[in-house]
Amino acid sequence: MELISQLAMSGLTVFAVLFLMLLGVLVLTAIFFFFIDIAQSKDSIRRNYPVLGRFRHFFSELGEFFRQYFFAMDREEMPFNRAQRDWIDIVSKTGSRTVPFGSTRNLVPGSVIFANGMFPKLDEEHTIHVPKLIGEEGSYSYQPKSYFNISAMSYGSLSRPAIKALSYGAAMGQCWLNTGEGGVSPYHLEGKCDLVYQLGTAKFGARNDDGTLNEEKLKKVCENEQIKMIELKLSQGAKPGKGGILPAAKVTDEIAEIRGIPKGEPAISPNRHVDAKNHEELLDLIAKTRQSAQRPVGIKMVLGELESLDSFLAAIKKRGLASAPDFITLDSGDGGTGAAPMPLIDTMGLTIRESLPYTIDALEKAGLRDRIRVIATGKLITSAEAAWAFCAGADFVSSARGFMFALGCIQAMKCNENTCPTGVTTHNRRLQRGLDPQNKAVRVMNYAKTMRKELRMISHSCGVDHPNQLTRDHAMIIQLAGRSKKLSEIWPPTLPS
């Protein structure tokens, strides 16, 4: 008994000594940081409140995670709320999703609802729908398999396993994959899916040193039959008027080789094509690209200056239908990216809600609607949002961030820091280990198929066979007094002039 008491006392003595040592270290550390904080002049909080001021930064960092997991309601967060993210997470894992009890959606002015028909189409009345042909029949054209596809995501902005998963998933889901402006990587090609080769303002993979188009390099890339179309990117939703930005931390040896740029330096594209400073030069570039690639060629843009679109369509009419782009990918001013300046990501460019109906009407007025296909993109990640785009007049809808959520993205907002915790947008091999391409490819496929299935379901409820038959009469927009108004009343369809 006495031995046990002695051991207990010895243990308490040791713990007391350790505690005092730890307390001493903490006091010395606090004194050390006190003098550092009081002497520095960069941070006024730390200078006025030495040591204690450091906790402000710590709690600010923690607050981001506490808000997402504990405090934010299901439909509060931006740019995508928990309800949207959870819906994609579940359908990509299981291929379906039902919800109980009732909707949690708050109908506010601007919300979209759909006008169900009194006699909806029976499911067994469903007919096989072939999406619209892109390009002129008998010339360079492409017959897509899907009206919902994967929007532009480059190898560089996204990790190697993420691009692999998208490539395999696109092949299994029978949709196209846009390469993004970083060039065609081996990982885009690996899954044998249909590819849209995006030529950004830097023309990575098909450029001369002065930034102009290298036709021989383009021909070489297009020897691969997986390349189905070429997209000339004029601007993107998150940063209209500024070229793509790939931070230096994400420019690896391999990415530098694919893009033809120095390793370890940021890849910053010019804010427009150097060989397209007006409408005529843009039409020349489209014609040159189409002739070299022998593929349909379109443009991607964010609509801002409305008169400029009208002038562009007038230039096409003057030169002839053959000069027209085969498609226009219309991005929303609130689109996403890996890195962009806040003034552009917040305030530049029209959103898809305004730009899509205007573009459709402008094409109709110019008599070019049947010649030029319209692909809508930008925050259209659920079937209801995509259905609105078809009602407004889109021929196709594509999504990037929707498929990122299918890959496992948790909206950590670390895309520009190379520290993405899910491995989607980082080149840190340790973080990439969590993303298995084969497993995530199935999720990509499930998401694509579920979107098409639910778009058909909405179409049948509205009394039509497929999304391309939806019109502005089928979409209702909630007004201030709580009443709804048809989209066709807000944007009356335009007849060809």
DSSP of 264-294: TS-EE--SS-TT-SSHHHHHHHHHHHHHHHT
| Residue 406 φ/ψ, nearest 5 degrees | -65, -30
Two tokens at 33? Answer: 């940081």
Which has the closest alpha carbon to 458: 390, 361, 356? Answer: 390
Q: Which range marks the domain in which residue 16 is found?
A: 2-71
Secondary structure (DSSP) of 146-170: -SEEE----BTTB-HHHHHHHHHHH
Query: Does 132 lie in the same domain as 66?
Result: no
Q: Is 179 in the same domain as 63?
A: no
Say if residue 42's pLDDT is above 80. yes
The answer to the question of residue 353 being in a domain is yes
What does the block give as tokens for 58? Answer: 């710590």
Least confident of 119-123, 275-279, 310-314: 119-123
Query: Residue 161's domain is classified under what CATH number?
Result: 3.20.20.70
Q: What share of the chain in percent tops pLDDT 70?
A: 98
Residue 210 counted as domain residue? yes
The predicted pLDDT at position 37 comes to: 87
Q: What pLDDT does 240 receive?
A: 83
What is the distance between the alpha carbons of residues 358 and 373, in angstroms, rounded to a whole number? 14
| Omega within 30 of 0 (cis) for the link into 79 | yes
pLDDT digits (tens, 9 = 90+) for 386-413: 999 999 999 999 999 999 999 999 998 8
CA distances (Å), 140 to each of 49, 293, 294, in order?
68, 9, 6
Distance, in Å, from the CA atom of 397 to the CA atom of 55, rounded to the nearest integer, reads 46
Q: Could you report the per-residue pLDDT of 435-449, keeping only the tens digit for each? A: 999 999 999 999 999
Alpha-helical regions (H) of 51-209: 54-66, 82-94, 160-173, 186-189
Please check whether residues 62 and 137 belong to one and the same domain. Answer: no
424 and 306 part of one domain = yes
Please check whether residues 54 and 126 belong to one and the same domain. no
Per-residue tokens: 193: 């899916």
pLDDT digits (tens, 9 = 90+) for 228-279: 999 999 998 878 877 777 778 778 888 888 887 777 778 788 889 999 999 9
Q: What amino acid is encoded at 210 in this protein?
A: D
Q: List for the chain the helix, strand, coil content (%; round to 5).
A: 45, 10, 45
36 and 124 both lie in a single domain: no
The number of beta carbons lying within 10 Å of the beta carbon of residue 442 is 19
* pLDDT tens track for 338-393: 677 888 888 889 999 999 999 999 999 999 999 999 999 999 999 999 999 999 99
Q: Where does the pLDDT of residue 496 fall: very low under 50, low under 70, confident under 90, or very high at 90 and above?
A: low
Q: Residue 426 domain-assigned?
A: yes
User: Cα(67)–Cα(4) distance, rounded to whole angstroms?
Assistant: 50
The verdict on residue 95 lying in a domain is: no
Q: Convert the pLDDT of each residue in 82-108 to its tens digit.
A: 888 899 999 999 887 777 878 888 888
Place of tokens 């188009």: 213
What pLDDT, on a 0 to 100 scale, did the predictor assign at position 497?
62
> Per-residue pLDDT averaged across 311-337, rounded?
92
- Regarding beta strands 297-302 and 134-135, do their DSSP bridges make them parallel or antiparallel, or are they unpaired? unpaired
Q: Examine residue 108 and state whether it is found in any structural domain, yes or no.
A: no
How many domains is the chain partitioned into structurally?
2
Q: Does residue 92 sit within a domain? A: no
As a whole number, the mean pLDDT across the chain is 90
β-bridge mates for residue 101, sequence order: none
* Residue 85 included in any domain: no
Torsion of CA 87, 98, 170, 160, to 10 degrees: 30
Distance CA 96, CA 90 (A): 7
Stretch (H or E) spanning 254: helix 253-259
Supply the pLDDT for residue 226.
97
Chain segment 175-228, per-residue pLDDT in tens: 999 999 989 999 999 999 999 999 999 999 898 888 899 999 999 999 999 999
Crossing angle (nearest 10°) for helices 352-366 and 383-392? 30
Q: Are residues 412 and 470 in the same domain?
A: yes
Instruction: Find the mean pLDDT for residues 295-316.
Output: 95
Residue 153 lies in a domain: yes
Residue carrying structure tokens 């007919």: 127
Instruction: Out of 15, 48, 71, pick the residue that ends a domain.
Output: 71
Q: Does 59 share its domain with 182?
A: no
* Exposure on the CB side of residue 61, measured as CA atoms within 13 A: 5
Main-chain dihedrals φ then ψ at residue 230, nearest 5 degrees: -120, 135
Using a pLDDT cut of 90, give the percent of the chain over it. Answer: 60
Q: Do 226 and 135 share a structural domain? A: yes
The predicted-structure confidence for 3-13, as pLDDT tens digits, reads as follows: 777 777 778 88
Whether residue 376 sits in one domain with residue 252: yes
Q: Are residues 51 and 160 in the same domain?
A: no
Sort strands 195-199 and 484-486 into parallel, antiparallel or unpaired: unpaired
Do both 258 and 362 map to the same domain? yes
